[in-house]
Structure 1
């Protein structure tokens, strides 16, 4: 039997601050989606890996970050359009809610300001600064960070992750998104289960299996009107695969994907099914850190357990 991993890219406005026209609905949904996901995970007792943008843990800032080697204009939206939008720039209240949850979630890093590590303009100095700053802030909150989720899944500078003491990252899914995923499963006979590997830097690569919001817009509306939510069906398929064979079914999403009640219903359907199958079969639900410990042979005694509270 395999296991199921759920990871979340927790970023509020930082997932879009570099875009010319940030998607308003997604930006505005960040806080609501964060709280909704915490509530659902507590209801079904599902632990997850929450990768948090470090800037969200600040109480305030000057919007300039002069000591950060970011390219010119990287923090401009903080000083212009979002100057008075502390709700999308900061989230210490949300992070506290996460750390105080009764569920044993993993606190992970999503960088400091959502820099794209795999892009050519992101040099080693910038990647190091992003990690150092996010880890410093995490330490201020008494958090030990083992896992990293790359902003927009743009993998790069893995050597810097290893140098900074991180132990795992989420790489891209072997299947496509949305309709492409269905094609890969039904036509190309691919599996939703993935296998963690240890890369040349000693990091555990835990690939994604399924982005839970990869089938949206009119295609989703049509599918739901004549059948069922395609992503719920795919998630159930992956969960069932994990009960039948070895491997990991690794689902992921952003809290800001929950922009409407039907998105809440999607996540409730997926999590309730996961809880049901866990109860029926003994299926294991893991965090990325749990996978690291299992793959590398680390034990609870040899791994540092973070204190889930603020200093």
Structure 2
């Protein structure tokens, strides 16, 4: 079975507070609030399933509730700029006065849209590979997420997948996570090891195939200790300086999707809503071109749309069938 998987890292300013100031990036954050309803409308139009990996801090109704959560956890990075606690002086009273740091109205909009999964991006946008933090600190963060509701699907912030933390994830109810593409330029890394060469290669790879399509078969997914649903492609935002290359960027994605459809493989596309916060019209048009192609592949190859929980549900069914058939016919291998 071939399918497109979509996941979005929904974080507002909590995802970039250690990189940009509000003055530098605030327009993108506010633009994300405009883009999200339009993304959801496109998903409805093309019957798209998607996982929204949401930073837990966005659920808080006000600053007082946010502070109460921080009292239950430790976030001791050696680089203190990574900690959201260092950003608290810029946080307003609630979503009405501070649309950069609270997002419950948007979360409710996502919940009310069909075929959208609410996943987690940790509570505090927790960096699992940075110096200073450890497994116990991460455990406190995930417990805070658990108190908010479902935690079935996890996206590690900055894609800092830490294999040592996966058993803990399983203990706390996480069923699946988004892994990284299996090539050196996408390997999980700390902020210090995100070299200019890696960034340059990833940029080129968005337009020209230098790393592969990163499609994969359902049967080859790593399922223990939790299911790894690797990324295939980051949907880079529109760049006016590279606008002459837009057709290359689109063709790169379409070719990967077509390969997945023909070979009954999975293609996992992801981005942040704030990537659409500027040049929103151009980004939405680009996304719709992708979804039109997915619609074509649905009709021609029975290509599907799935979110991360869909994948774990299908794997569960397949596994149960294998166990059942193996019980009666232990010499038979299914797939």
Report the TM-score, using the length of structure 1 for normalisation: 0.83
Deviations 1:199-237 (A, max 9, x none): 5x421111100001177462x22324xxx2x33222211
RMSD value, Cα? 2.4
1:254 aligns with 2:263: no
Unaligned runs of 5+ in 1: 139-143, 301-311
Q: Tell me what 1:150 maps to.
A: 156
Q: CA deviation at 1:256?
A: 0.8
Q: CA deviation at 1:108?
A: 0.7
Q: CA deviation at 1:14?
A: 1.1
Report the TM-score, using the length of structure 2 for normalisation: 0.77
Deviations 1:82-141 (A, max 9, x none): 33652111111101101111x211111111110111223221122111111112112xxx
- Aligned with 1:115 (options 107, 126, 137): 126
1:280 aligns with 2:304: no
CA distance in structure 1 between the partners assigned to 2:20 and 2:252 by the alignment: 33
Q: Tell me what 1:266 maps to.
A: 286
**More divergent stretch after superposition (106-115 vs 65-74):** 65-74
What SS does the aligned partner of 1:137 have? coil
Contact preservation (8 Å) 1:2, 1:245: yes
- Aligned with 2:174 (options 156, 166, 185): 166
Q: Tell me what 2:313 maps to.
A: 293
CA distance in structure 2 between the partners assigned to 1:202 and 1:79 by the alignment: 35
Paired positions, count? 285
Contact preservation (8 Å) 1:168, 1:203: yes
CA distance in structure 2 between the partners assigned to 1:250 and 1:20 by the alignment: 28
1:202 aligns with 2:225: yes
- Aligned with 1:28 (options 27, 30, 38): 30
Q: Tell me what 2:245 maps to.
A: 223
CA distance in structure 2 between the partners assigned to 1:273 and 1:113 by the alignment: 36
What SS does the aligned partner of 1:171 have? coil
Unaligned runs of 5+ in 2: 186-201, 321-335
Larger Cα-atom Rg: 2
- Specify which structure has the higher proportion of helix: 2
- Aligned with 1:68 (options 64, 73, 79): 73
